[in-house]
Homo-oligomer: A and B are copies of this chain.
Amino acid sequence: MRQSKLFTKTDKSAKEFESVNATLLQKGAFIKQVMAGVYEFLPLGLRVLAKIENIVREEMDKIGNEVLMPSIAPKELWEQTGRLEKVDVLFKASGANKASVEKNNAEYVLNSTHEEVVTPLAKSFNQSYKDFPFAIYQIQTKFRNEARAKSGLLRGREFRMKDLYSFHVSEEDLKRYYEEAKKAYTTVFERVGLGDDTVIALASGGDFTKDFSHEFQTRCETGEDIIFYSKKLDIYFNREVAPSKAPSLNDENEEIKAREDVVGKGIIGVQELADYLKIPVEKTTKTLIFETDKGEIIAAAVRGGYDVDEGKLLKIIGAKSLKLASAETVKKITGAEVGYAGILNLPAEVKVYIDESVANRKNFECGANKTDYHSININFGRDLPEPEKVYDFKVAKEGDMHPETGEVYEVFRAAEVGNIFPLNTKFSEAFDYKYTDENGKEQIVYMGCYGIGTTRIMGVIVEKLNDEKGILWPEQIAPFKVHLISVRTDDEAFEKAEKLYNELTEKGIEVLWDDRAGVSAGEKFADADLIGTPWRVVVSAKTGEQVEIKKRSESESKLISKEELYTALGY
């Protein structure tokens, strides 16, 4: 393509956004923000996106049938699964003005995901065991009513993704296919250039399954997720499900001190409390009083410096939801205002859950259950009985160990680029999707779902592969393979460049030819670095019969012959 034919222009001095991908992709004129979380894909950006989506399509075609489901759907489908009121990013579509409402006064869901659409679709075609297994996927625009969207292509109100759904006669067959999908995903991430840095992490199965789901997480300093890696087990955990053991604080030489209740009125936060009491944060204890959906009141204590992971806690107590108890309830239970709750002397009806980080300490602090007071030098076995059982319901943090191996986790930030989910029977039950088995008996269908954010991949790649000059696209998804630059557009150099452009293009090599007049060589080079095409080829009066070639990732250019150029480009 001739650069003079692009309606867009790079803008090196454009606004800096909060995220690197938003900034670089807009400076390079790949995308343009229409509103927070909503972008236009400009000619260069659309080329990248199409390449990513073609790679995804090629791999998905090996394991499923491509379809295109609609963005709008009847509300009834979402009512049937109970998700119409639950999914907190769901949009609806309705008439935008009086005339439109008068024409058709209806409301539809704008699908944020397509289980509600694909399940009835699958059911309409396949109800005999002979039809199974099968899988259906699409590459499509999705809508999510996000509160904030400041991460460029990493989190959008409108974005593109590939979603695949599989259908099985048994959990075993679902598991078999699940592994097949995992492999296909691994290939996709290898092909788009993220293979080396992308790992499969265990994550929560949500309310679909007691099993884990799996996330494909790409190491990325600006990613939203934190991954815990156990080298001994060779398992990656999303923080939300990382089993964790806090560093032990048991010092054999530490002597047991006398318990004291000290005044500490209005002290907010464990760090402030530790400073005030002149003890390490690790010696403090955070005790939270919760009410469960079953109406129970529980106390949950973690070591100071940790937070309670409600997801982990819910599984332990076997409840569906939790909320912090009201000030009134706290006062009734602990006898004190909020802020002084501890694990001492709680009424018998309050079940106390103690995180393992609370135990294995001597002389620790906890709320005195007395307004304005904190108890210090508390010790199990003396001030309260040794806990019968300790749990792990804290949010894991750097320095924690895997409880079984005792090995300290490697911890790193990552961006989720894909996830796969055993849905099991959640949606087939909602839509009464059964198949008839070999004996004529009806059996419930098992399902899995598998997502890849294609626009997100584009954002993650830019977050990872950039330098001070611009983007470094992996060759397989770069907008062009070669950025051909004709310097000083005197007739001869221009004609030489045009000839090379035509030759390369005829060979099927994708070339962006900077044929613009009145633009300096320096500007053209800076543009090439910003746009980030893998190969820069310069033709000028100076280069004679040769061309100057430079890889975007290298700093040295060299003069080579045309034959050498084709060899370098793999032709």
**B69 and A86: CB pair below 8 A?**
no
Stretch at the interface among A40-48, A258-266, A355-363, A465-473: A40-48
Given contacts A96-B92, A125-B8, contact A43 B67 (CB under 8 A): yes
CA distance A71 to B43 in the complex (A): 17
Q: Which residues of B contact A34 (CB under 8 A)?
A: 69-70, 73-74, 117
- At the interface, yes or no: A39 with Cβ under 8 Å from chain B? yes
**B91 and A121: CB pair below 8 A?**
no
Given contacts A72-B143, A74-B34, A134-B7, contact A67 B41 (CB under 8 A): yes
**A147 and B73: CB pair below 8 A?**
no
**A93 and B43: CB pair below 8 A?**
no
**B65 and A40: CB pair below 8 A?**
no
**How many copies of this kind of chain does the complex include?**
2
- At the interface, yes or no: A268 with Cβ under 8 Å from chain B? no
- At the interface, yes or no: A90 with Cβ under 8 Å from chain B? yes
- At the interface, yes or no: A49 with Cβ under 8 Å from chain B? yes
Nearest CB to that of A110 among chain B residues? B93
Q: Which residues of B contact A131 (CB under 8 A)?
A: 7
Q: Which residues of B contact A32 (CB under 8 A)?
A: 121, 124
- B-facing mask of A153-194, CB < 8 A → 1, else 0? 000011000000000000000000000000000000000000
Stretch at the interface among A99-107, A534-542, A547-555: A99-107
Q: Which residues of B contact A146 (CB under 8 A)?
A: 103-104
Q: Which of B49, B94, B108, B134 contacts A68 (CB 8 A)?
A: B49
Q: Which of B40, B70, B97, B121 contacts A158 (CB 8 A)?
A: B70
**A9 and B125: CB pair below 8 A?**
yes
Q: Which residues of B contact A67 (CB under 8 A)?
A: 40-43, 46
Q: Which residues of B contact A89 (CB under 8 A)?
A: 100, 103
**A125 and B7: CB pair below 8 A?**
yes
**B71 and A141: CB pair below 8 A?**
yes
> Which interface residue of A6, A95, A109, A122 has the most chain B CB atoms within 10 A?
A95
Given contacts A65-B6, A94-B91, A96-B90, contact A35 B74 (CB under 8 A): yes
CA distance A41 to B67 in the complex (A): 6
Q: Which residues of B contact A38 (CB under 8 A)?
A: 70, 72-73
Nearest Cβ on chain B to A121's Cβ, whole angstroms: 6
Nearest Cβ on chain B to A102's Cβ, whole angstroms: 8
**A73 and B7: CB pair below 8 A?**
no
Nearest CB to that of A103 among chain B residues? B147
Q: Which of B40, B92, B109 contacts A70 (CB 8 A)?
A: B40
**B95 and A40: CB pair below 8 A?**
no
Q: Which residues of B contact A41 (CB under 8 A)?
A: 67-68
Q: Which residues of B contact A43 (CB under 8 A)?
A: 65-67
CA distance A414 to B86 in the complex (A): 46
Nearest Cβ on chain B to A115's Cβ, whole angstroms: 14
Nearest Cβ on chain B to A514's Cβ, whole angstroms: 16
- B-facing mask of A112-154, CB < 8 A → 1, else 0? 0000010001101110000100111000010101110000000
- At the interface, yes or no: A278 with Cβ under 8 Å from chain B? no
- B-facing mask of A75-101, CB < 8 A → 1, else 0? 000100000111111111111111110
Residues on A facing B (Cβ under 8 Å): 5-9, 29, 32, 34-35, 38-43, 46, 49, 65-74, 78, 84-100, 102-104, 108-110, 117, 121-122, 124-126, 131, 134-136, 141, 143, 145-147, 157-158
User: Can you spell out 16 A-B residue pairs with CB atoms less than 8 angstroms apart?
Assistant: A7-B126, A9-B125, A34-B69, A34-B73, A40-B69, A40-B70, A40-B121, A42-B67, A87-B96, A88-B99, A89-B100, A90-B100, A91-B100, A93-B145, A103-B145, A104-B145
Apart from A84-B96, A90-B96: 14 A-B pairs, beta carbons within 8 A: A7-B122, A7-B126, A7-B134, A9-B125, A34-B73, A38-B72, A40-B70, A42-B67, A46-B66, A71-B158, A88-B100, A92-B93, A96-B109, A96-B145
